[in-house]
Amino acid sequence: MSTRTIAVVSAGMGTPSSTGVLADRLAQAARRELAAHDVSAVIEPVELRDLAHALTDNLLTGFAGEDLQAAKDSVAGADAVIAVTPIYSGSYTGLFKTFFDLLEPGSLVDIPVLIGATAGTPRHSLALDHALRPLFAYLRAVVVPTGVFAASEDWGAAGPGRAGTTDGGLSARVDRAAGQLAALTIARPRTVVADPFAITADFEQLLSRRSR
C-alpha cells in the first residue's frame, strides 16, 4: 500500500469550532477515499489559532518560529492540502490569508487543494468561489472542483460534530469533494522535498570539472 500525506489547515477561532469539525470531516472522508484505492493517508493537522502570535512575529521580523516553520514545511511537503476557514464579511479570515501569504513562493504549485468554509448564514457561500478559489488559483494550486461550505443550518439541530435530524446535503458534498481530492492526489506523483545538503553529483564528476 502506497502512502500520501494530507496537510489539513484549519483557521477556526474557537475550541472546538465548526471550522475544525468540517476540516476533520473532510480529512476523514479523504482518508476513506484513498483507502478504497489501496492508498494510506497520513493526516497532518495545522491549527492556525495556535500559530496566531507566531504569524504576526513572522510578518514583523521575517523569521518563522519553530512551530510555524514546522507548519509551513508540513504544507509545502504534502501531497494534498485541505484548507478550511470561517467566513467574516464575505471573505476568509486575516489569519488564514496571512499563513498562505507567508509560505515560500511555489510551495503549492500543482498541489491538489480542497477548499472549505463555515459561516452562520448561507449568504456567505459565494466566498468559496469569489475569495478562496482565486487565492489558490493565484498560488497555482490545483483546486478541487467541489468546495464545501457549511452554514449553521447544515449541521442539523444538534450542531457540529453531533448527530442531527438533517445536514442539508453536507455529507454528500463532503464525500464528493473528498473523492475528487483523492483522485487528483493519486494521479499526481508524490511530493519529494529536496534535501539542501544532498550531494547530487559524485566526487569524480566534481573533480573532473575542477581540473578543467
Residue count of the chain: 212
Confidence of residue 163 (pLDDT cuts 50, 70, 90): very low
Confidence of residue 15 (pLDDT cuts 50, 70, 90): confident
The better pLDDT of the pair 197, 74 is held by 74
**pLDDT, position 16:** 84
In the chain, the number of structural domains is: 1
Which residues does residue 9 pair with via DSSP β-bridges, in sequence order? 46, 83
Assess whether pLDDT exceeds 90 at residue 162: no
What CATH number should be reported for the domain holding residue 47? 3.40.50.360
Mean residue pLDDT across the chain = 89
Q: Could you report the per-residue pLDDT of 96-122, keeping only the tens digit for each? A: 999 999 999 999 999 999 999 999 989
What's the rounded Cα separation, in Å, for the pair 10 and 166?
24
**pLDDT, position 211:** 55
**pLDDT, position 209:** 53
Containing domain of residue 147, as a range? 2-211
Q: What average pLDDT score do residues 51-77 get?
A: 97
> Would you say 104 and 71 are in contact if contact means Cβ atoms under 8 Å apart?
no
Assess whether pLDDT exceeds 70 at residue 38: yes
63-77, 136-150, 194-208: range with lowest mean pLDDT: 194-208
Q: Could you report the per-residue pLDDT of 40-54, keeping only the tens digit for each? A: 999 999 999 999 999
Q: Where are the beta strands (DSSP E) in the chain?
A: 2-10, 39-47, 80-88, 91-92, 112-119, 142-143, 148-151
Q: What average pLDDT score do residues 146-160 get?
A: 80
Which residues does residue 119 pair with via DSSP β-bridges, in sequence order? 151
22-26, 40-44, 123-127, 161-165: range with lowest mean pLDDT: 161-165
Assess whether pLDDT exceeds 60 at residue 189: yes
Q: What average pLDDT score do residues 149-167 get?
A: 66
